[in-house]
Structure 1
């Protein structure tokens, strides 16, 4: 069909007016608008953004800049020389710890202790939060929360001292054992008892503090869901299973992924304070082994290679856990 002369086809030559929106994805207008938005927000809320300066400086100085020191895992470092090593040795130190039987012993200890800590310590705050959620007496609930929170604010040195007072030869446990007519047990000098003592102290110190996030997540669950479940005849156990646990599942998955990421980083301070040469077969972990090799023996390159290996394992674990969680339950860190 022919178009009469003097009539301009709107489809052939559209005329853009002030009200006509710009084409999507065309030109630099969206980028410029985004930049203007950031500038406007920065200009408006610059006082709030100044609070980020110190955390960013802290991360840069104490988290990112030290990563440059990992290069000495592949260079021979001599005290008094360059901070980045004097001679390139490649994978020499990696081959050294791979063929070192002592390293694999402490690696096994780290894996077992980390696994026990994850299995025992992770569900305990969930259980305590569920129990506290059922308490209707306010003063008793607050009392239990306060008592369970207190160990978290204690120094690791104080916690280790309490553990020694309880499990030493003249400690509380052995006094109770002696009252029954049995011989005292030297818990702190026995390698077989170290893992039990460590995990028990870790539960006592962390279970109360860990309930805070779960109690906060429980407050976001709609009460009408419980009313509907009660109308349908669901008991308390069924309500907990199908409503409560489902409601706090995102929080559980997030904390589980974070715990898996630190799976191999078993608490250095507490192990260092509690262990001794007699308990090395079960108590010596990678972090304490690195302390003896790197600080006490001044073998910094070898210790750096082992630490880098441990960090790579932690990175792989957290990435794997995040990917599995994202595909299985649809919840992840990113």
Structure 2
């Protein structure tokens, strides 16, 4: 299901990932840095590293580092910073899957399932350590501090989410949670790219603001896909968030809607069964919760596009605009 609304901007399917072509050669170097940095003599550690590299996604976060770096004066060491950002992302996914008891990641068994929990925890720690080695190699304490700050934000956000499981958050609380979970990281990826390339503070702030808005939209759409996507294309089971007691924006909206609140509470209060997910999905669709969340994501994409419009025109700006539209048009 491809999600569209009045907020969505026209985007041809043939160029949805066109923004990656601008940084293709850099991303190939990122892959080489990742492979080289994660090479280990210990065969178990190497097998885990190979498994993680084999289950790679679109590498959006390192691509954002590289794209942000296009607005600076140089690109020395940028691919190493991009690889470090991806390692942090990989580490958080490994740890999140343990916390969430997720069995599948990107269509493959999660690391803790493929190996065991102890190995998964340590492999996440290993990735964090390697990432910060690369950050420190840059010699720029601003980069190291930005990376440390965002890891702190993500960790405290995950702790807060864990403590709030089963509690219905307000929309404001939800937005704070997804900032910590996702938007802060994309914001920082853009800032690290700007810092690493010697961009001006003003350009760095603009890119960070773009990353923030993009990240907010990204997570809202991700939460929507938890209800409307094909599980095989999504790479995980549909409705997992609610099963874990995590209330995302569509559910929060439906619970705040007098016309759907009682019906949804009745389903949530009953013994879970094979049809529970379908019942909840029906309520979310009929209450307008899906459309509301998509509109909210569209508002953030508009904000991202407004931010990026202040940057110098060129291929890099066009790529960032393309990336923003891709986030809203995702259907898996």
- Report if TM-score (shorter chain) is over 0.5: no
Q: Which has the higher contact order (CA 8 A, sep 6+)?
A: 2
TM-score, scaled to structure 2? 0.29
TM-score, length-normalised on structure 1? Answer: 0.29
